[in-house]
Chains A and B, each alone.
Chain A
Amino acid sequence: MAVALSPPRILPSGDAAITVEFSRTIDEDANRRVLALDKLVAAAALRAVTETVPTYRSLLVHYDPMQIDFDALGAKLTELALKPLPETKAARRWRIPVAYGGENGVDLEDVAKALDITPEEIVRRHVAGDYKVAMIGFTPGWSYLSGLPSEMQMSRRQNPRLLTPAGTISIGGIQTGVQCLAGPSGWHLLGRTAVRTYQLGRDPTFLLEPGDAVTFAAVDEHTFREQDRAAEAGELVAELIPS
């Protein structure tokens, strides 16, 4: 159990934020340490820390330089990062319905061709995956999931699309993602979900948390449309699976 942890790199992100970097690559262990440090920083309730942003491999810590300087906060964060990792509590587990292929997933056929398997097999493999929310970023609710089966990995598109639909489920590199709002993307579009990971006026506004577990379930077009109406009215649509 007592594996010695290597200290993270303490990097300046300007004069009011520190990047605590555990790895430069996508790495499950690094992500676990990021999420653990995020919880420890919250528990320490450091007055100078204004907000934290966990990512795959680093924790961005925004702070008030009127209250603490870079060196002092860097030392404190290093100290917290070297604490033994807490026992991982069972993560919340969500099942997210996806309408795969056709207009909902315009790249499904091409991905199947590129991987030399059938579109049905792509869906089967994507649904079989056990994913974790590694980070949420770029735009509200855009959730980056780790755990894509290795045989599904594909490099990003040469030409990113300027506009992809809200609710797009896509793959890029060794990641899969749930995109909430319409926006640009260089990933391959497999399907769409009615689930809103960000919805104003709904409680909670943000559905997923970094660290949550996610599985996908295939639904047909008719179900997708019904769920989309329900989601528009404020229902979660995503299913919380008791662990």
Chain B
Amino acid sequence: MSKLVVASVSPGTSVQDVGRFGAQRYGLVPSGAVDRLAMAAANALLGNPLLAATIELGPLNSVFTAKGGAVRVALTGALRPAEVAGSQVAINTTVTLADGESLNIGVARAGTFGYLAIEGGVRGEPMFGSLAVNARAGLGSPYPRPLQVGDELPVATASATPEKRIELPAPVEGPIRVVMGPQDDEFAEGKDVFLSSDWKISATSDRMGYRLEGPVIRHLHGHNIVSDGTVNGSIQVPGNGQPIVLMPDRGTSGGYPKIATVISADLGRFGQTQPGMPFRFKAITMAEAQAAYRAYAELLQSLPSRVHDSNILMLDIKALLQANVAGTAIDAIDDATWQFANAGN
């Protein structure tokens, strides 16, 4: 068996899967990946179960080294440079690290979280059916905490299959969609302020909650409610009128009114929004939200059919480089252009 050794690691890097369910009634939150689609895409690239555990990478540099044998990995999520032995590795592809070789992952340029899946999956002891790290509850495997330098993840030795790439649809753009409630009646013109203003994510945000900065949202009857249950994407408005969007490590209950909830289909996209980037919310109907949910679930299920051998793309890049247009695409952020831009570096 091989190992993947953590040689350097961005803050905010932890093992995450779809999360653990069934114990929210005891105060145990599910945790799980912020961007479930990106996590599933990384797994699809390697033929793993779609919602299996991957390494959720924080936005800064990380280095992982194969030890004791070859290790195949796939990198998805935030757009960032990555290289093995001096060769660029594109986002949304697999790469095999020979024994002793390192994958150097650079700073995220667009998006926040990356997902590094390992062929055969992360190995550990599931607790409540999940390997997801919840440091506060002492849960997660193989380590019940964020990854640290020197950690060694036992992994399968790479199989002898061709490298793969996955074609994802163009990222959805536009406002983050929400369903109003459950306590939107605690606000009057505060709702208009919420829906008509530009918001930014504060740098103090984490996997518990993203704090937003913008105009003050006023409550009708003060900011205390009797605590009730929360979900991923619940948007609380505390006393200072600055909303907090609850993320996978939220508390299972909370005592601030919740003006709205980010729809499931937009949670990953919201979670990838970088601090300081302005964005807006848009209220949609429940019927629209549930239609978006179904479309998102179908996209997730389609991921394995979007995986192809990667050599075809390499030829394309060569042709493009010969046409000498690679240098013009640096600012674009769709996946194809990103790979194209990397190849031109």
Contacts and interface: CB of A to CB of B under 8 A. Distances in A.
- A14, A16, A56, A138: which has the most chain B beta carbons within 10 Å? A14
Contact of B252 (A137, A181, A183): A137
A73 to B, nearest CB: 11
Interface stretch (A64-72, A75-83, A100-108, A219-227): A64-72
A15 B137 contact: no
The contact size tier of chain A is: 35 or more
Given A13-B229, A14-B264, A70 B251 contact: no
Contacts of A54: 25
A82 B143 CA distance: 47
A58 B27 CA distance: 15
A19 B293 contact: no
A200 B227 contact: no
Interface in B246-273: 251-254, 258, 261-265
B24 A53 contact: yes
Interface string A127-147: 000000001111111101000
Contact of B289 (A15, A137, A139, A181): A15
A188 interface: no
Contact of A56 (B23, B226, B231, B254): B226
Contact of A65 (B138, B225, B228, B294): B294
Interface stretch (B72-80, B114-122, B176-184, B326-334): B176-184
Interface string A1-15: 000000000011111
Interface string B160-184: 0000000000000000000111110
B63 interface: no
A12 B180 contact: yes
Contacts of A11: 181-183
Contacts of B264: 14-16, 65
Interface string B220-247: 0000011111111110000000000000
Contact of B253 (A52, A138, A200): A138
A54 B22 CA distance: 12
A23 B253 CA distance: 16
Contact of A12 (B127, B139, B181, B265): B181
B51 to A, nearest CB: 14
Given A15-B179, A65-B294, A140-B26, A53 B253 contact: yes
B261 A12 contact: yes
A49 to B, nearest CB: 11
B28 interface: yes
A52, A55, A66: which has the most chain B beta carbons within 10 Å?
A55
Contacts of B231: 13-14, 16-17, 60, 62
B279 interface: no
A53 B27 CA distance: 9
A167 to B, nearest CB: 15
A218 B225 CA distance: 32
Nearest to A16: B264
Contacts of A62: 21, 24, 231
B131 to A, nearest CB: 14
Nearest to B180: A12
Contacts of B297: 66
B302 interface: no
A210 B25 contact: yes
Nearest to A27: B226
A70 B286 contact: yes
A157 to B, nearest CB: 14
A136 B26 CA distance: 5
A192 interface: no
B6 interface: no
A12 B286 contact: yes
A21 B290 contact: no
Nearest to B21: A51
Nearest to B182: A11
A23 B180 CA distance: 19
Nearest to B26: A206
A19 B229 CA distance: 8
B292 interface: yes
A14 B262 contact: yes
B223 to A, nearest CB: 12
Nearest to B30: A51
A120 B234 CA distance: 43
Interface in A20-72: 21, 23-26, 50-58, 60, 62, 65-66, 69-71
Given A15-B263, A58-B228, 11 more contacts: A14-B231, A14-B232, A15-B290, A53-B24, A60-B24, A66-B294, A140-B136, A142-B27, A198-B26, A198-B28, A200-B127
13 contacts: A13-B230, A15-B264, A16-B264, A51-B21, A55-B227, A56-B226, A60-B228, A65-B294, A66-B294, A69-B286, A137-B227, A139-B136, A198-B27
Which 7 A-B pairs rank lowest in CB-CB distance, beginning with the nearest? A60-B229, A137-B253, A14-B261, A11-B182, A15-B289, A138-B251, A53-B229
Interface of A: 11-17, 19, 21, 23-26, 50-58, 60, 62, 65-66, 69-71, 135-142, 144, 180-181, 183, 198, 200, 206, 210
